[in-house]
Structure 1
Amino acid sequence: MGTMQLGRLGAWYAPDKLNGPAQIAALVKTVESLGYDTLWYPEARGYESFSVAGFMLSQTSKLKLGSSIASIYARDAFTARRGMISLNDLYGGRFILGLGVSHVPMVEGLRGHTYEKPVPAMRRYLEGIVKGDAKAAEFPVCIAALRPLMLKLAAQMAHGALPYNTIPRHTAEAAKILGPGKWLAVEQKVTIETDPLRARALGREELSRYMVLDNYRNAWLGMGFTEADLANGGSDAFIDQMVLWGSADQVKAKLKAHFDAGATHVAIQPVHPVGDTAARDAILKALADT
């Protein structure tokens, strides 16, 4: 497989927000044509992670695809390893396996598994990924990590970490824990909108699905936000840091804070009115030279 290099700028978008293969193909072709290095995508209630990766890879020639994240409860470690190797063999070494422990409602409610202690569960899974494979050190594997113990595990057993819903202060702490030579691929939501009321309304709508999940709430409290910040849809100060808004130049300046804090890669997630793919593409175009 060879050791994969990760470029500076990526995009993050959920295929579940799109209406079928034509819209997914249009998205990946746009992201590739704008020069983004990697498109990251989640695994939630819709598309299965590896199937949709194969389709997106088939529609592109240079763009890397990264799962952000594939749930460790969705397939056993051997299957995840073979899936990662298969996608890289079939599509020119362009797939990054991002893994995560997901959330209790998804694991227990949706999948019917027992949600285990996150760090030991992830450690066992990573051991299964590398077990008995001489090329394991080359595997492009990252993990979703917010808290220090999971970040330490990312440093020990993966290429790096994929923090989601964070701030530059967290990026700086994560960079210290990971140490040099590791990928720190930070997701950041953005919208090109200069009206504070419109920007924050979009932000609150986008954040609402995360505000009910304990993993994120606990991480935000650890970053210095308060319970008051997380009440009633989120305070203005909280929303302004979760979804960067303003003119393209203002948003670029705010994104720079993650790089300054030690991010090796920033994946921008365009936030826009539901179904407005033109707005999505305009945001991606405006920020492609960040």
Structure 2
Amino acid sequence: MTAELGRVGVWSNTQLWVEGAENAAELEELGFSALWLGGNPGGDLSVVEPLLGATRALAVGTSIVNIWLDGPAGIATAFDRISTRFPDRFVLGLGTSHKGPIEQATGKTYDKPYSKLVEYLDQLAVPTDAIVLGVLGPRSLKLAAARTRGAIPYLVTPEHTAQARDTLGDGVLLAPEQHVVLETDPDKARATARAGLSFYFELPHYTDNWRRLGFSEDDVKGSDRLVDALVAWGDEDAITKRVDEHLAAGADHVAVQVITADGSLDMAAHRRLGAAFKG
């Protein structure tokens, strides 16, 4: 068996969950079926087990383990430990991250990320149906379909979801992440959204993907058009509508990431969304 992801999960930075078992239990009670840990949980993945231990059926996934920072042998050991204690509840999400941050963090040359990912998969002793890839472009999506359970694209639109489904084919997991801001005032919502996106405007993996989707050079610098396409903002109905658009476009599961002005975990917003998705 593989981890059951359900329809809607939560994406959130790993650091918010280091002592977050109680909040994870509440997410499960609210009806969310999966928790995706961003910001490279990496290392021995020790953050995962307390979250699984505090919940009954919640799936926990990494989004993503950075393949430049954590080797396949150590990650396989961590996967075996977690999956032995909590069978069929952990999903190993892998990705290549980005040239600038990696070279600054490691001093290593970031070269041929696709080949690096293939090599990593070749060496990784983990069941393929427990692995997903955080990828965006057609070539990498095809790799996800061929070598893993599927793809977890980040910062994408429903249009990208439709294209990704065509590339992946049927029967392959597609679980995009969706930024959300629970704010109905357009100026406030876009200001919060743009602050949350600002880091990504400098990362070619994302800007190249947005260009493939038809956004202009001005757009990829942070236009209202781009912000509105990437971030679902408004009331609960607006958020659920965007999630439904991903599902209609071919997604199996959508991971919502609540964006806040200070980067904190807003459980009140998750309560509102949980009630809306149940409705």
* TM > 0.5: yes
**Given residue 178 of structure 2, which amino acid in structure 1 is its aligned partner?**
Q
Q: Structure 1-normalised TM-score?
A: 0.89
Name 2:160's counterpart in structure 1.
170
Measured after TM superposition, the shift of residue 168 of structure 1 is 0.9
Alpha carbons of structure 1 residues 26 and 198: separation in structure 2 relative to 1, 3 Å: farther
CA shift, 1:76, in A, is: 1.6
1:26 matched to 2:15? The reply is no
The question of whether the paired residues in 2 share the 8 Å contact of 1:162 and 1:186 is answered with: yes
Number of equivalences: 278
> Alignment partner for residue 260 of structure 2, among 265, 268, 272?
272
Alignment of 1:50 with 2:45, yes or no, is yes
The separation in 2 between residues aligned to 1:207 and 1:28, in whole angstroms, is: 25
Letter in 1 for 2:200: Y
Q: CA deviation at 1:241?
A: 1.2
Q: Quick one: which amino acid aligns to residue 121 of structure 1?
A: K
Q: CA deviation at 1:71?
A: 0.5
Q: Report the counterpart of residue 88 of structure 1 in structure 2.
A: 83
For the pair 1:196 / 2:191, whether they are aligned, the reply is no
1:151/1:116 Cα in 2 relative to 1: closer, same or farther (>3 Å)?
A: same
Secondary structure of 2:55's partner? coil
For 1:118, the equivalent position in structure 2 comes to: 113
Inter-partner Cα distance in structure 2 for 1:17 and 1:113: 28
Aligned to 1:9: 8
Amino acid paired to 1:41? L
> In the aligned structure 2, how far is the partner of 1:148 from the partner of 1:283?
35
Q: Report what 1:256 is aligned to.
A: 244
Query: Which residue does 1:288 correspond to in 2?
Result: 277
The 3-state SS of whatever aligns with 1:227 is: coil
After TM superposition, the structure 1 stretch with the greater mean CA deviation from structure 2, 237-246 or 267-276, is: 267-276
Partners in 2 of 1:152 and 1:15 — Cα distance? 28
Q: Which amino acid aligns with 2:80?
A: I
Post-superposition offset of 1:11: 0.8
1:62 paired to 2:57: yes
Q: Distance in 2 between matches of 1:85 and 1:16?
A: 23
Structure 2 unaligned spans of 5+: none
1:272–1:279 contact (8 Å) kept in structure 2: no
Once residues 49 and 58 of structure 2 are traced to their aligned partners in structure 1, the CA distance between those partners, rounded to angstroms, is 12
State the AA in 2 paired with 1:193: E
CA drift of 1:286 comes to: 4.2
1:126-137 correspondence to structure 2 within 5 Å: 126-130=121-125, 136-137=127-128
- TM-score computed with the length of structure 2 as normaliser: 0.92
Question: Shift of residue 289 of structure 1?
Answer: 2.4
Q: Could you say if the C-alpha distance between residues 198 and 64 of structure 1 is closer, same or farther in structure 2, counting changes exceeding 3 Å?
A: same
> Aligned to 2:140, what secondary structure does the other structure show?
helix
Q: Percent identity?
A: 35
The amino acid that maps onto 1:39 is L
Shift, 1:261, TM fit: 0.7
Q: Which letter maps to 1:281?
A: H
Gaps of at least 5 residues in structure 1 are none
Is residue 224 of structure 1 aligned with residue 224 of structure 2?
no
Q: Is the contact made by 1:8 and 1:265 (CA closer than 8 Å) also made in structure 2?
A: yes
Q: Residue 51 of structure 1: SS of its match in structure 2?
A: coil
